[in-house]
Amino acid sequence: MKKIVIYIFLALLPFMFSGCKDYLDVTNAGQSDDNFVMSSPGEAFKALSWVYAEYRTNAAAGGNYNWQDPLGSDAEYMSEYPSVNNVIARLQPGATTVNTDMGIYNSLNVALARASRVADLIGAKAEYQSDVKGSVPTSWTQLYGEAKTLRAYLAWELVRHFGDVPYGYENQVVTTYTLTSRFEIMDKIIADVKAVEGKMFVLGQGGITAERISRTFANALIGEIALHAGSWQTIRTDIIGLYGTVQFDTKGADDALCVYARRKDYIEYIKVAEQYLGAAVNTQSGTAKLITSDTRSVNNPFQKHWQEINSRRISPESLFEIGCVAGIGNAEYGYSMARPGSNSSVNSYLNTFAAIRIIPSFFYNSYETGDMRRDVSMVISGSNAATGQENLIPLGVGTRIGGGGPSINKWDKNRGDVPLYTNATFRSSGINYVILRMADVMLLLAEAKADLGSDNAGALTLVNQIRTRAFGNSSKNLSGLSGDALLDAIYNERKLELLGEGAIRWDMIRSGKFNERAIAIRKEMADMTAGLQASGYYTFPSGRTISNYVWTKYVQIGGNVATVTQTPVDTDPAQYPGWRGIYNWGIAAYTATARNLAIQGLYTYIDPAGTAATALVASGYTRANWGITVWNDANAKAMLNAAILDGVVGRENNAPRYFHPMPLTVIDQSKGKVTNGYGLPNK
Amino acid sequence: MRISGQKYPANFTMDNAFAMISQYGANLVISSGVSTPNRLQSYFGRANYSLLDKYMFAATFRADGSSNFSPEHRWGYFPAGSIAWRISQESFMKSIKNLDDLKLRVSYGEVGNDAISADQWSQLWAATSDTRWQYGLNKLLQPSYDLASAQLANRDLKWETTITRNIGLDFSLYNRRLTGTVDVYQNSTKDLLMLTDIPSITGFTTSYANIGQTSNKGVEISLSGTILRNKDWSITASANINFNRGNIDKLADGMQSAYGTQFLQSGIPNADYKLLVGKPVGIVMGYQRDGKGFYTPDDFDFNSTTGMYTLKTGVADLSKAFVAYRAGLVPGSQQAYPGLPKFVDNVKDDVIDDKDMVEIGNTNPKSTGGFNLNVIYKSFDLGMYFNWSYGNDIYNANKLATLYNINKGGGLYGNKLAIVKDSYTNYQIQSGNLVKLTTPDQLNAANTNATVPSTFLQQGYVSDIGIEDGSYLRLNTVTLGYTLPKQVLSKIKISNMRIYGSIYNAFTLTGYSGLDPDVNTSQNVNSSRYPTPGLDWGTYPRARQFVIGLNVTF
């Protein structure tokens, strides 16, 4: 018996050891190797599809909560109070916590690494290597350029918002790393995109729409990065040797942490900016163009861009949009970045937080009469989701239609051609994120030209194209400007054109005049507040007047229960200002038969004790608090004081501190080599 | 169920198509997945030898191969062995009176752990079914490929090995009326295999890694004995005590040492636990209370005309991280105001910030143990089972959470712990109106009994207010029983019947202010990857149970 056991054992022995290697080599049909994924351009794009989507879901969707770019300038602010959602916008680095921006920092790095991986895999393919020797772009050279440019764009987002960061460590096990100079990073990504853009499709070529990265966008991106690299910014002074041999001119005092600076050889970068922004506007623009005609009766080509965006279509003016799908989450346009709504279960789709608010003095004093951008860009009424009516948004502390006063109007759920879509839920409007549009690129090009000083006429031509569109004619065109006056005019035009789009804060930084502009807007608000308190009204240099009170009344327009209004009709208080109103949502709970709002006394003073006021009340108007809130409500006063760039107070002669903190993991594992600067937390 | 997909390219096999159905067919809301198998291959050998019933030897050896590791690191080899010597059997021991048994044991053993998923050492691709990671082109979701594992692949992963080393003595005396064991041990776990945070500059936020080595050494003593035994009485007792010292022996290069429970969501500091080589796991980091733990009017120069509180020279101010908005009239950039928390300025730079954080708690006990007493008197029996812990800190996050204003307005009407009534107040109800107190005299008068700071900060913080002594003695179970006389039962054909009453969790002696010093907060409640021992955060307290029972045997 024993022997039999031994024989069986001996017989089995060879089988026990043979094949064991195979047994432990497991496979999974749901998992594929690199060759499988890179088998065709269509398959390879799916790997890039993930990168675009990661950026949409975890970076763009964080929107102003992450970057706060459109919440802290001399035109925009945020009215939530007290709040930790706008401390970077206010320039208060000490009031943030180390992991505040962990999500977006990680997301950008993860997406960047994936774009790198895809680019490396395509670059290694025989098909690509053969195609790239040819003279025309192919699917493979486009995809390679797309991956490289996407990577550069993500690196640019990191550099812009976090400053100097660890760079070049993707897709490997890393135990030692350090900070890389932002200037070195920008040099590298500019070189990367320069190397690939020539073999990419311009917009409209090869089936490439603005929802993908094209040669057109690649050119503009090179220009934008170069312009930033050669402009004023806050650099660190607490790390010796960080910037290598780069020499700087500085403004104001160094507080031993940071200083406001521009590299001495900046002009070389501005030249690159002019060359590539010029290519994006002229030779490589493809189908992207400034919308200058409008066949609708309203004839407002500026508004046409926003009509396209609100209708969930790609705008012909866009160089790059992040593609969203209605009903799928992650659309901040229509939620935190849109015309205010309220939070009610009756119509939860209208729940619109509306973080981007317009500084009241800017609302009154910025746009010239006849500028068709004014009402398209700013609004003082929002959607009441409970009643389906248009409500006045009071000034003072609050979110949605509960407070904050003037708000961004460029995105409005009432506005699209077909506002109601299937499965409409809030935060899933399907409105694309416009990353760059032609008007922005043209004004950046004008800035580069003005910086160089070699083509002032060209700069003015560009600005005047924008102004002609805004006014409908050339009557308000600028002429004869040069030097600082020209630059100031360009920055002002950018403010009027790009309000709420996250550009103004960066313009302030680049201009080298951040503190001056911050102090000026704070003074403008202080003057307005004092005037209101003293007289009950305050008239701005623009001729418009803010008063303690306005009068409102629900009305019908042309017999309609609810109307989305269009171009302003000066004679109708329900259509002046224009581009507001409310869509008829067709909800049974909405029983009011008059849902549009007539407003009186918004721009001119009506004496509350006078006969005009009495007549208004007699005709059904109600008096509402307006300007009085900014001086009579202590909370509102404190909020406005804090929310409008209060980080400049006491630091008038120091650098603006606008950067975001890198997360704890990056600090902790660096063995002391990586720290957050600018007074940001490290623990 | 019917599913369909179409237009798969030539390189898709049937298996690929079934595993990644979502990859073709526009707007097909369908997905599928296949998981990678985990495979283990093992060889095992064992030898036992016993000599004269005095010397006993045992040895085992195993080789394990796991598909969870790369081919270079697949195999782990784990030996173990033990020797026992029954000293009492030796002839020279025969002369010792009252010694029934004495045995010395020595053992050494290694065991391996490969408990990770199978996709951690190679970086493959997989179809995405989550629409959040499908891009939109022309309002249509595009299929996408993600990496199959969210973790950075680590080809160097290898088996985690736990080594146990033990010397023990078993003894029995006085005709087995006193028995006991003494064990001295040193156990270590090397190449700890854990999911760990890595800097996202790699393109990944986590990776599995062999992160270091921890060890536990200690002494365990247990005794049990019969105190009295006669016709009516039987009293027995037993006790055990354990002195354990945990230690982090080493951490892998670049390992993250600070980690957070994040109970504060966006609190200060973000990482409230720390791994330190040479210390045990369970060190809590935070701020130390200065004096009473809050600013009082004595810390300020008060201007009675303007109502402004200016900090006196030498009194440290709070950094902006603590205060989202000003509590009252203060000059310039000053944050401090009477009632706000006051911490020790350890680096003496006149501002309280993250540089002032120190170790504020160690959640490891100096000793733990238990003792039992069983008394039988005639037909009555009584059993009491105690356990205790001595010298450990508890990190009372519930208490700290009640000291700040979670979720701004969302916390309105929310419940707070009773200690809030002892918090510093800047308001008082006077003849039905809420009045703000502004002068030092008003504030001092209203806060003579205050023990904790004002609770209206938007930002939470970790301070030693939340660190408490967690020592306790608990009567875990007490049981009293009565067995009915046999002669009564035999008449109704029942062989045995016992009625008893038990109280579980009868009482606890402790100075801890929370609900239960025996905290067992789930590590999943926290976002931390590493253990957070001693954390009390939403722990459900153990119930006290009263049980009345009847045992019947027919």
Strand partners, B469: B393
Q: What is the structure's pLDDT at B1?
A: 42
Regions of chain A where pLDDT drops below 50: 18-19
Cα separation, A374 vs A356, in Å, equals 16
Kindly report the three-state secondary structure assignment for every residue of A249-274: EEECECCCCEEEEEECCHHHHHHHHH
- What burial class does residue A349 get, using C-beta atoms within 10 Å of its C-beta: 0-12 exposed, 13-18 middle, 19+ buried? buried
* B112 assigned to some structural domain: yes
CB neighbour list of residue A59: distance below 8 Å, 6 or more residues apart: A66, A104, A107, A108, A111, A157
Q: Are residues B178 and B319 in the same domain?
A: no
Cα separation, B295 vs B289, in Å, equals 10
Interface test with chain B among A83, A173, A209, A257, by most B beta carbons within 10 Å: A173
Query: B366-394: buried (b, 16+ CB within 10 Å) or exposed (e) per residue?
Result: ebbbbbbbbbbeeeebebbbbbbbbebbb
CA angle B538, B540, B543 (to 5 degrees): 160
DSSP strand E in A295-414: where? Answer: 318-322, 357-358, 378-379, 381-383, 390-392, 407-408
How many distinct structural domains can be found in chain B? Answer: 2
Token readout for A375 is 């009402």
The nearest alpha carbon in chain A to B200 belongs to A106
Contact present, A183 and A243 (Cβ < 8 Å): yes
Contact present, A670 and A178 (Cβ < 8 Å): yes
Token readout for B157 is 């992963």
Question: Are the Cβ atoms of A665 and B198 closer than 8 angstroms?
Answer: yes
Domain that holds residue B321: 288-356+417-454
Q: What is the structure's pLDDT at B461?
A: 87
Q: What is the structure's pLDDT at A18?
A: 47
Chain A residues in contact with B32 (beta carbon < 8 A): 30
Contact present, A192 and A125 (Cβ < 8 Å): no
Q: What is the structure's pLDDT at A11?
A: 58
| Cα-based distances in Å from A432 to A309, B137, B501 | 7, 10, 70
Backbone angle region of A442, left / alpha / beta, with phi > 0 → left and psi within -120 to 50 → alpha: alpha
CB atoms within 10 A of CB B342: 25
- A215-229 vs A504-511: helix crossing angle, rounded to 10: 40
Query: Looking at this protein, which amino acid is placed at residue A494?
Result: R
* B510 assigned to some structural domain: no
Nearest to B199 among A52, A96, A177 (CB): A177
Cα separation, A511 vs A451, in Å, equals 10
* B519 assigned to some structural domain: no
Answer whether A177 touches B (CB < 8 Å).
Answer: yes
Interface predicted TM-score (ipTM): 0.92
Question: Are the Cβ atoms of B271 and A33 closer than 8 angstroms?
Answer: no
CB neighbour list of residue A611: distance below 8 Å, 6 or more residues apart: none
| Cα-based distances in Å from A445 to A286, A350, A441 | 17, 38, 6
Q: Are residues B300 and B192 in the same domain?
A: no
Query: Looking at this protein, which amino acid is placed at residue A489?
Result: A
Q: Are residues B227 and B296 in the same domain?
A: no
Q: What is the CATH number of the domain that holds B249?
A: 2.40.170.20
Q: Are residues B95 and B242 in the same domain?
A: yes
> Of A350, A416, A411, A353, whose CA–CA distance to A379 is shortest?
A411
Nearest to A664 among B9, B141, B258 (CB): B258
> Of A558, A312, A532, whose CA–CA distance to A418 is shortest?
A312
Q: Are residues B181 and B313 in the same domain?
A: no
| Cα-based distances in Å from B348 to B315, B316, B351, B465 | 10, 8, 8, 21
Contact present, B392 and B470 (Cβ < 8 Å): yes
Query: A462-482: buried (b, 16+ CB within 10 Å) or exposed (e) per residue?
Result: bbbbbbbbbbbeeeeebeebe
The nearest alpha carbon in chain B to A681 belongs to B354
Cα separation, A220 vs A275, in Å, equals 10
* B220 assigned to some structural domain: yes
Query: B29-52: buried (b, 16+ CB within 10 Å) or exposed (e) per residue?
Result: eeebebebeeeebeeeeeeeeeee
The nearest alpha carbon in chain A to B143 belongs to A46
Chain B residues in contact with A43 (beta carbon < 8 A): 9, 145
Question: Are the Cβ atoms of B254 and A671 closer than 8 angstroms?
Answer: yes
Nearest to B205 among A26, A106, A642 (CB): A106
Question: Are the Cβ atoms of A113 and B202 closer than 8 angstroms?
Answer: yes
Q: What is the structure's pLDDT at B120?
A: 87
Regions of chain B where pLDDT drops below 70: 1-6, 24-31, 264-267, 324-327, 405-414, 522-528
Contact present, B240 and B220 (Cβ < 8 Å): yes
Q: What is the structure's pLDDT at B265?
A: 60
Chain B residues in contact with A88 (beta carbon < 8 A): none
Interface test with chain A among B145, B205, B277, B351, by most A beta carbons within 10 Å: B145
Q: Structural domain boundaries of chain A?
A: 330-413+529-634
Q: Are residues B208 and B295 in the same domain?
A: no
> Of A401, A434, A467, A439, whose CA–CA distance to A310 is shortest?
A434
* B482 assigned to some structural domain: no
Q: Are residues B316 and B177 in the same domain?
A: no
Residue carrying the six token digits 């330190």: B276
Cα separation, B70 vs B92, in Å, equals 56
Kindly report the three-state secondary structure assignment for every residue of B172-207: EECCCCEEEEEEEEEEEEECCEEEEECCHHHCCCEE
Question: Where among B234, B256, B278 does a domain terminate?
Answer: B256
Query: Looking at this protein, which amino acid is placed at residue B179?
Result: T
Chain B residues in contact with A648 (beta carbon < 8 A): none
Contact present, B280 and B248 (Cβ < 8 Å): yes
Answer whether A318 touches B (CB < 8 Å).
Answer: no
Q: How far is B505 from chain A, CA to nearest CA, in Å?
A: 41
Strand partners, B482: B380, B499
Answer whether A12 touches B (CB < 8 Å).
Answer: no
- Beta B351-352 vs B140-141: how paired, if at all? unpaired
Query: Looking at this protein, which amino acid is placed at residue B288?
Result: Q
Cα separation, B462 vs B344, in Å, equals 13
| A&B contacts, CB < 8 Å | 256
Answer whether A670 touches B (CB < 8 Å).
Answer: yes
Cα separation, A321 vs A327, in Å, equals 18
Strand partners, B112: B161
Q: Are residues B448 and B329 in the same domain?
A: yes
Which chain A residues in 401-420 lie under 8 Å from chain B, judged by CB atoms?
A: none
Nearest to A683 among B266, B270, B333 (CB): B270
Cα separation, B480 vs B469, in Å, equals 33
Q: What is the structure's pLDDT at B456?
A: 76
- Beta B467-469 vs B358-362: how paired, if at all? unpaired
Chain A residues in contact with B143 (beta carbon < 8 A): 46, 49
Residue carrying the six token digits 């989450």: A329
CB neighbour list of residue A663: distance below 8 Å, 6 or more residues apart: A98, A99, A101, A102, A105, A106, B200
Contact present, A319 and A288 (Cβ < 8 Å): yes
Question: Where among B429, B454, B479 does a domain terminate?
Answer: B454
CB atoms within 10 A of CB B250: 16
Cα separation, A433 vs A60, in Å, equals 7
> Of B452, B333, B438, B363, whose CA–CA distance to B404 is shortest?
B452
| Cα-based distances in Å from B90 to A187, B58, B86, B87, B436 | 83, 20, 8, 5, 85
Chain A residues in contact with B39 (beta carbon < 8 A): 23-24, 26
Q: What is the structure's pLDDT at A6?
A: 60
B76 by DSSP, 3-state: which? strand
Question: Are the Cβ atoms of A31 and B357 closer than 8 angstroms?
Answer: no
- Beta B535-536 vs B393-396: how paired, if at all? parallel
Cα separation, A493 vs A444, in Å, equals 11
Q: Are residues B116 and B175 in the same domain?
A: yes
Terminal Cα distance for chain A, rounded: 71
Q: Are residues B170 and B313 in the same domain?
A: no
Nearest to A665 among B9, B128, B199 (CB): B199
Terminal Cα distance for chain B, rounded: 56
Contact present, B87 and B72 (Cβ < 8 Å): no
DSSP strand E in B344-451: where? Answer: 351-352, 358-362, 367-377, 380-390, 393-396, 427-430, 433-436
